[in-house]
Structure 1
């Protein structure tokens, strides 16, 4: 099979959560464990870092990977979903897996896949672990796909576990209240393995403490390690001044991630790096600063407050649940512009009311849909949005919506593209 034929097989023969939603989610690790045995436990052949959470886990994963790369290590990075190409999910030192490696993996093991009938995600995790083992990476940063306890990545025993934050997302699978979701995410905490929690959240702090105590794991909350004293975004950089809570030492980080919400993610990544140092990973202060200054360059991270063009300024962001949208709206409010245009699409299994209630009413909307089965119909989205006094026209594709927004904008305007990861995927 060609690469495209291989992808077609993967996307159509096997359930894929990003495309079909709940039908692709498997609430057990049976297939994952069966495939892990079949491939002779590849995850045991490299060190790892495990990253879970509702928002920010992708940014934290890329940040840690960038620092490790700058430390001279051969670093695997597994994340999801992809934006432009499936191969973005599996990288070594910022380079995506080759097309031939994907083709060969499917061709050589297709018979086993058709016997086990794994989900798209289960198969992709097996591919990543097998690839990292074969290429002899020193360490791999592994992002949880969905949840934690029953996620296919949760067979690893990492050097450190990281949980960025918890908010309501995928409630149809993980639970309707934040404490239940936290228990699922906390399922990545392993006996005796330290865990870093990115945000201290009153409603769920004790959930993580309880799991950590039960499993004999040291737990740190990032704000107990570092305090952010000042932050400035200018000239395509974000300058962050941190102070160590333990020794009051000051240090400055220049970061190429421009989202204000990245401040928490960078602090979380720094705490995880501290834990890796304690485990004997050689990471200098210069490696830390250099890695955090070139995350996009080193890892190829896309879609996080990404500026696509100037005059008019076009910015996209993959934030897609209420907590993520709230952060985006806050940063839009800090941005200078004459008029706001929003190219907007959602998937049909989200809490649309909660998201729509947060969107600015003064903007002009271009309601659209991404080209995936889960996308919410643009006409239905407009109808739902009108109830929140959000006004605009509908467009059958993201490309047409963005084109219309550009045509109707003046150079001092701001065009924001988002609502769904898959809308952003069509513009980056």
Structure 2
């Protein structure tokens, strides 16, 4: 098979949650365990950092990976989903896995994948582990796909686990309360392996404490290690003033990821890096941390996080797609200077619109759209649902046309926002 044929096999033959939704979700570690045993358990060949959470896990993973690269370590990074290129999911030192490596892996292990009935995500995780081992990666940052306890990535034994935050998402699969979802995410906590909690909350902290106690694992709350305040912008980057509690050390950090919610992510990443430096064989200097955060998006090619796509009018996209994420987006929209606001939005069918749509600004002009995926909620249906919550506008099903129309409507001092779904953002980039 060539690369195109290989991708067709992966997307069409292996059930993928990204395209099929819940029907493609195959929880359990039996298949990935058997397959990784078949390929020699490559995930055991390097240090790993395991990152879970409802929102922010992508940004946190990229920031940590960038810092590790600046510290001189050959660094693997596994994230999902991708925006434009499948290979975005698997990177070594910021570079995507070569196409031929994907082809060779699938050719070599095709029969075993079919025999074990691997899901798309299980195959992708195994491919990442194998490529990292072949590439002599020293440390890899591994982001969970969905949940934690039964996620395919949970076969790794990391040096530290990270849970960014807990919000309501995938409730049909993970549970319909914050506590139930926290329990699934807490499933990445391993025996005697510390866990960093990015955003603690009295509603679910006890869940983490109980799971950690059962595993004799230390719980590190990021907000008890550092405090962090936004201090404006510097050279086009967000500027933060940070304070490490234990020694009263204060320092300033720049981050090339924008959006007010990044304050939580830089705090989580800082606490994780601090632990790695203090309590593991990894050595990470203050300089490496500052350089890694300053250019995190550039070094690791992260896109779609409050990303500016144009000026006059200001055009911004963001991949926030659940109540927790949309709440932050709404706050950011309110904080961003503009005259009129035009929102190009689309969602997938399984999103909790009853808790998402009320969060969006009612004074915006909406252009309802839908991405080219089977999971997309039809734009006309979204238009009708949005009207119930006082959100009005027009319907343009094709994302590129919807974005172009918003740009035409907006004056120089207006703002265009594109979001609601990773797939909508991908088609807008």
TM-score band, normalised by shorter chain: over 0.9
After superposition, the C-alpha distances for 1:360-412 in whole angstroms (9 at most, x for unaligned) are 11101110001000000000000000111111111121001001101111111
Contact 2:157 2:190 in 1 (8 A): yes
SS state of the match for residue 54, structure 1? coil
Output aligned runs, 1:13-412, within 5 Å.
13-233=13-233, 235-277=235-277, 278-412=279-413
After superposition, the C-alpha distances for 1:261-312 in whole angstroms (9 at most, x for unaligned) are 0111001001101111120211100000000000011100010000001111
State the 1:116 CA deviation: 1.1
Taking only aligned residues, the RMSD between alpha carbons, in angstroms, comes to 0.8
Partner Cα separation in structure 2 for residue 225 and residue 121 of structure 1 = 34
Partner Cα separation in structure 2 for residue 199 and residue 231 of structure 1 = 20
Partner Cα separation in structure 2 for residue 264 and residue 396 of structure 1 = 34
State the 1:229 CA deviation: 3.7
Contact 1:19 1:374 in 2 (8 A): yes
Partner Cα separation in structure 1 for residue 268 and residue 113 of structure 2 = 37
After superposition, the C-alpha distances for 1:225-249 in whole angstroms (9 at most, x for unaligned) are 1112443135421010011111211
Partner Cα separation in structure 2 for residue 159 and residue 30 of structure 1 = 23
SS state of the match for residue 76, structure 1? strand
State the 1:27 CA deviation: 2.0
State the 1:75 CA deviation: 0.1
SS state of the match for residue 162, structure 2? strand
Worse overlay, 24-33 or 93-102: 24-33
Partner Cα separation in structure 2 for residue 395 and residue 139 of structure 1 = 45
Structure 2: unaligned runs, 5 residues or longer: none
SS state of the match for residue 243, structure 1? strand
SS state of the match for residue 395, structure 1? strand
Partner Cα separation in structure 2 for residue 303 and residue 229 of structure 1 = 23
Contact 1:27 1:150 in 2 (8 A): yes
SS state of the match for residue 415, structure 1? strand
Partner Cα separation in structure 1 for residue 407 and residue 348 of structure 2 = 24
TM-score calculated relative to the size of structure 1 = 0.99
Contact 1:236 1:258 in 2 (8 A): no
SS state of the match for residue 396, structure 1? strand
After superposition, the C-alpha distances for 1:135-176 in whole angstroms (9 at most, x for unaligned) are 110000000000000000000010110000000000010000
TM-score calculated relative to the size of structure 2 = 0.99
Partner Cα separation in structure 1 for residue 99 and residue 52 of structure 2 = 28
SS state of the match for residue 149, structure 1? coil
Structure 1: unaligned runs, 5 residues or longer: none
Contact 1:194 1:275 in 2 (8 A): no
Partner Cα separation in structure 2 for residue 414 and residue 236 of structure 1 = 18
Partner Cα separation in structure 1 for residue 409 and residue 198 of structure 2 = 40
State the 1:352 CA deviation: 1.0
Partner Cα separation in structure 1 for residue 243 and residue 275 of structure 2 = 17
SS state of the match for residue 211, structure 2? helix
